Structures are given as structure tokens and as C-alpha cells.
Amino acid sequence: MTWNANTISELYKSRWDIEILFRDIKQLLHIKSFIGTSENAVMIQIWTALITILILKVLKAIAKYSWHLSNLVAFIRLNLFVKIDLQYWIDNPFEENHSPPQQNNKQGVLF
């Protein structure tokens, strides 16, 4: 009862951001149930889902094309095993001539 209105509103906003994150995980990654039931298996699946959402949101943020996150997830799911230059593809997803990525054998480069 000693908190002011700003503190309560900031807590509510933070809670809402967490709710959106878990909604994205549930809806976009289609996690309906856990494969393993041990504590370790559940933790691995939760961490894997969180890392996947983080990577997808980073890809969405760096893309020049204005993706909706659900569309990006669907298109990546369809093209998961296609060898393309990912950065070029997320910038120009509907261009016909996608060339295979150049062989860069640099260690430690993520994108």
C-alpha cells in the first residue's frame, strides 16, 4: 500500500511484456507439451524456446524487409533446410534469384 501509481504501472507493463513473450513462444513455436518430464528436460526445452525466440526477434530487427514475427517464423520453417544467404533472404524474401551463400570460413562470426 506504500507504492505510488508510477511504480505499479511500471510493474504492470513489465508483467505484460513477459506475458507477450510467453504468448509468442506458445503461438509461434507451437509448444503444446513437453517431450521430457524431468526437471532437466523441461529446463532444456524452455531455454531452447527462449533462445529461438531471441534469435528470431534479432533477425526481425536487423531485416530491411518489415516482417511480422509470425510470417518470419512461418517462412523460416518452410526454408529451414534450404542453403541460402540468410541476411540477403530476410532483406529480400521475394526476389527470385537467391544465390547460395559464399564460403566464409571465419570462426566466431554469427551473422
For the record, the C-alpha cell of 76 comes out as 523460416
Q: What's the pTM?
A: 0.62
Whole-angstrom distance, CA of residue 66 vs CA of residue 60: 8
Q: Taking the chain, what is the end-to-end CA distance rounded to the nearest angstrom?
A: 49
**Cβ-contact 101, 85 below 8 angstroms:** yes
Q: How confident is the model over 21-61, as pLDDT tens digits? A: 778 777 777 777 778 888 898 888 888 888 988 899 899 99
* Non-local CB neighbours of 28 within 8 Å, separated by 6+ positions: 53, 56, 69, 70, 73
